[in-house]
Structure 1
Amino acid sequence: MNVLSRVNSIVATMLNGQKRGVSHTIPHPTLCFLHCPTFRSFSLSSPSSTISEICQVAQATKNEVDLLLKGVSDRSLVEEIKHIVEMATRSSLRREVLHTDFLTPPVLNEAMVALKKLADVNAIPNGGYPEAERCRLSVGHSDILKTVPNTVAALSITGNFGYQPPTHGDFLGSILGTGIAREKLESGAQVLIVPELVDYVISSLDKVGKVPVSCTLIPLEALEYEPPRTKTLKTVESSLRVDAIASAGFKISRSKFADMISKGDVRINWSTVTKNGATLKTGDIISVSGSGRLKIGEIYTTKKGKYAVELIRYI
Structure 2
Amino acid sequence: MIDLKELLINSNYKKEIEELINISNLSLKHWQTYWTGFNSTFVCEEILKEFENLNDFKFFVFGGYNSAQRSKIACFREDNTPEKNELIKDFPAKGFQMNGNFLFDNATQDDFRSLLVDNGLREERIGDIWTIGDRGAQGIIDDSKIEFLDEKIFSLRDVKVKIKIVSLDELQIPAGRSKKIINTVEASTRIDAIASAGFRISRNKILERIETGMLKLNGKTVKKGTISLKVGDKLQLDNKGFIEILDLEITKRERWKIKLLRK
Quickly name the TM-score band, shorter chain normalised. Answer: 0.5 to 0.7
If each structure's helix is expressed as a fraction of its own residues, which one has the higher value?
Answer: 1
Q: CA deviation at 1:295?
A: 8.8
Number of aligned residues: 203
Q: CA deviation at 1:314?
A: 3.8
Tell me the distance in 1 between the aligned counterparts of 2:124 and 2:15. 17
Higher Cα radius of gyration? 1
Aligned pair partner of 1:158 in 99, 104, 109 = 99
Q: CA deviation at 1:158?
A: 2.2
3-state SS in 2 of match to 1:171: helix
Map Cα deviations across residues 135-157 of structure 1 (whole Å, 9 max, x no partner): 11111212334232422321222
Superposed counterparts of 1:201-216, under 5 Å: 201-208=149-156, 209-216=158-165
3-state SS in 1 of match to 2:19: helix
Larger RCO of the pair (alpha carbons < 8 Å, separation 6+)? 1
Aligned pair partner of 1:88 in 24, 32, 52 = 24
Contact 2:149–2:165 under 8 Å retained in 1: no
Aligned partner of 2:8 in structure 1 is 69
Tell me the distance in 2 between the aligned counterparts of 1:277 and 1:229. 22
Aligned pair partner of 2:107 in 167, 174, 177 = 167
Aligned pair partner of 2:185 in 247, 251, 255 = 251
The 1:203–1:187 alpha-carbon spacing in structure 2 relative to 1, beyond 3 Å, is same
Q: CA deviation at 1:85?
A: 1.6
1:217 matches 2:151? no
1:200 matches 2:148? yes
Aligned partner of 1:142 in structure 2 is 78
Where structure 1 has 5 or more consecutive residues not aligned to the other structure, the ranges are: 1-60, 234-248, 279-285, 297-310
Tell me the distance in 1 between the aligned counterparts of 2:31 and 2:96. 31
Aligned partner of 2:177 in structure 1 is 228
Tell me the distance in 2 between the aligned counterparts of 1:205 and 1:90. 38
Q: CA deviation at 1:201?
A: 2.0
Contact 1:98–1:138 under 8 Å retained in 2: yes
Q: CA deviation at 1:100?
A: 0.8
Partner AA of 1:225 in structure 2: P
Tell me the distance in 2 between the aligned counterparts of 1:266 and 1:229. 21
Contact 2:33–2:76 under 8 Å retained in 1: yes
3-state SS in 2 of match to 1:132: coil
Tell me the distance in 2 between the aligned counterparts of 1:90 and 1:141. 10
Partner AA of 2:138 in structure 1: Q
Aligned partner of 1:108 in structure 2 is 44
Tell me the distance in 1 between the aligned counterparts of 2:236 and 2:141. 28
Partner AA of 1:193 in structure 2: I
Q: CA deviation at 1:276?
A: 6.3
Superposed counterparts of 1:1-315, under 5 Å: 61=1, 64-70=3-9, 75-105=11-41, 107-146=43-82, 147=84, 148=87, 149-159=90-100, 161=101, 164-168=104-108, 171-172=112-113, 174-181=115-122, 184-185=125-126, 187-188=129-130, 189-208=137-156, 209-220=158-169, 222-228=171-177, 249-252=183-186, 256=189, 287-288=234-235, 293-294=243-244, 314=262
Where structure 2 has 5 or more consecutive residues not aligned to the other structure, the ranges are: 131-136, 194-215, 221-228, 247-258
Percent of pairs with identical residues? 14
Q: CA deviation at 1:84?
A: 1.3
Tell me the distance in 2 between the aligned counterparts of 1:276 and 1:293. 12
3-state SS in 2 of match to 1:101: coil
Tell me the distance in 2 between the aligned counterparts of 1:131 and 1:251. 29
The 1:211–1:140 alpha-carbon spacing in structure 2 relative to 1, beyond 3 Å, is same
Map Cα deviations across residues 175-218 of structure 1 (whole Å, 9 max, x no partner): 24432245654654012011234433214445544325241404
Contact 1:102–1:134 under 8 Å retained in 2: yes
Contact 2:151–2:162 under 8 Å retained in 1: no
Structure 2 length normalisation: TM-score? 0.59
